[in-house]
Amino acid sequence: MTASINMMAQTGIADGVLIVNKEAGWTSHDVVAKVRGLLGGAKVGHAGTLDPAATGVLPLLIGRATRIAEYLVGWDKEYRAVLRLGESTDTQDATGTVLQRVETNGVGAKDLKNTVARFVGPQKQMPPMYSAVKVAGRALYKSARAGQTVERAERDIVIHELEVLAVDGRDITLRVVCSKGTYIRTLCADMGEALGIGGHLLSLERRRVGVMSIDQALTVEQIATQLAIGTLDHQLWTLDRVLDQLPLYTVNEQEASRVLHGAPITPAGWSGVAEPCTVRIKDGQGRLLAIGTYDPQAKGPIKVQKVLVDIGSLN
């Protein structure tokens, strides 16, 4: 960790989150490796994998920000997807082999509207065989490449919003706002099946992850340029900014010491929340110390989940 901190100090970059606009052809791991190299070997991770063919928002976690990944992956996401009707593929997207082609002339605007309405709200979705989901310890895509189909359980997802933006022949451009764990290519394949003609995901752009949007994102090339001219730190989201939707509890000096050692604290007289929740814990100087959980109904302590600073760094 000390070596990583020193490298980050040399590049002028602190702990935080960079919003990357991933380009087509890059894996999420490729982006992490490239930025890690640019930052001299600093600790880098990501929140929310994008398939190589997909583009758009990929939050990169730098330094201690890697400790908050679990709080970002649960955010809802917004996509712009193109559904190609009448063509089914083995991967449910354009990278796969076409299994069937069907004419789309019989599908009208009313059929499309009714189908879109059916896919809004809570629902079950079957993870695709070409995915990283593991069954019995083995990734599904490995079984798929071996020609095997594995029995797997459906998952609970929510499609918050589903809107048709454009229709160009058999290509339907969609705006999708959904919960974590949603496979947009499976959504497209399921919609095509519901219309009776099949379909697959032709292209995909992630427009937003939680509060982070495509308008705030940088390509890897832009990151390299801003790092070279010394302005990349201006694009870095602090951990406090990333987590500012969480309720805040401020501790005194004695409580801060307990928090930094992972000990629970009693929020005497605190009425900041009414339901069980995750909480930011800051000291009197406004420094984000940790993330905890609190259940006001149980009237127990705030339990520290993640300490985000080193004890020595506050001296």
Q: Which residue among the candidates 51, 93, 190, 283 is catalytic per the annotation?
A: 51
In sequence order, what are the beta bridge partners of 278? 293
Beta strand segments in the chain, E? 16-22, 44-46, 55-62, 77-85, 87-89, 98-101, 121-125, 134-135, 138-139, 155-168, 171-178, 199-209, 212-213, 248-250, 277-282, 288-294, 303-307
In the chain, the amino acid numbered 100 is Q
Q: Are 145 and 193 in contact (CB under 8 A)?
A: no
Residue 136 contacts by C-beta under 8 Å, 6 or more apart in sequence?
none
Q: Are 260 and 290 in contact (CB under 8 A)?
A: yes
* CA distance readout (Å), 169 to 65, 105, 108, 201: 44, 9, 11, 15
The two structure tokens encoding residue 108: 């009208």
Catalytic residue flag (residue 233): no
The two structure tokens encoding residue 114: 């009714």
* DSSP per residue, 152-215: ---EEEEEEEEEEEEEETTEEEEEEEE-TT--HHHHHHHHHHHTTS-EEEEEEEEEEETTEEGG
Show which residues are catalytic: 51
